[in-house]
Amino acid sequence: MDKQLIYKQITEFWMNSIPFNQELGIRITRFDSEESEIRFDWQDKLIGNPLQKILHGGVTASALDFTGGMVAAANIIDQLDDMSPQMIQSSLGKLGTIDLRTDFLRPGRGEEFIVTAKVIRSGSKVAVTRMEMHNEQGQHLAFGTGTYMVG
């Protein structure tokens, strides 16, 4: 099967089938092994600090974790010899977060939030990724580092 088509199907599956991502309103805007990206809009239900109207830190961590997992997944798929649906499903089934560090740089304010992720260590068993979250004004809100089981 064609790689772009596979990526498109995985993107659709992830956008429609992960309940908590749907709660957060996460849209996958780039799914690629070089860099992956998601976006989500401000919603009042995501508030963590009612006095200051800022995102709950866990929303930020959730978005960083998912985006890091996405780019790790794209790297798994890129390394497969056999891109059959069974092989892809089996490979993605091994994906899991081992640990995640989130650095909160500025209060989570904005109308739209953009999270990008890159792989900094790619192996057959473990991948390490770096993530960044900005708002629509380009303010850098958070950094993340994630370690994922990939094989």
In sequence order, the β-bridge partners of residue 149 are: 96, 126
Residues 64-93 that bind a copy of itself (CB under 8 A): 65-66, 69, 89, 93
Please report whether residue 58 would count as binding a copy of itself according to CB under 8 A: yes
Instruction: Kindly give, in sequence order, each residue whose CB lies less than 8 Å from that of residue 78, ignoring residues fewer than 6 positions away.
Output: 3, 33
Contact in structure between 81 and 134 (CB atoms under 8 Å):
no
Site string for a copy of itself, 30-49 (x = CB under 8 A): --------------xxxxxx
Burial class of residue 92, CB neighbours in 10 A (0-12, 13-18, 19+): middle
Q: Which is nearer to a copy of itself, 2 or 111 (CB)?
A: 111
Query: Which residues form the interface with a copy of itself (CB under 8 A)?
Result: 17-24, 44-52, 55-59, 61-63, 65-66, 69, 89, 93, 96-107, 120-121, 125-126, 128, 130, 140, 143, 145, 147, 149, 151
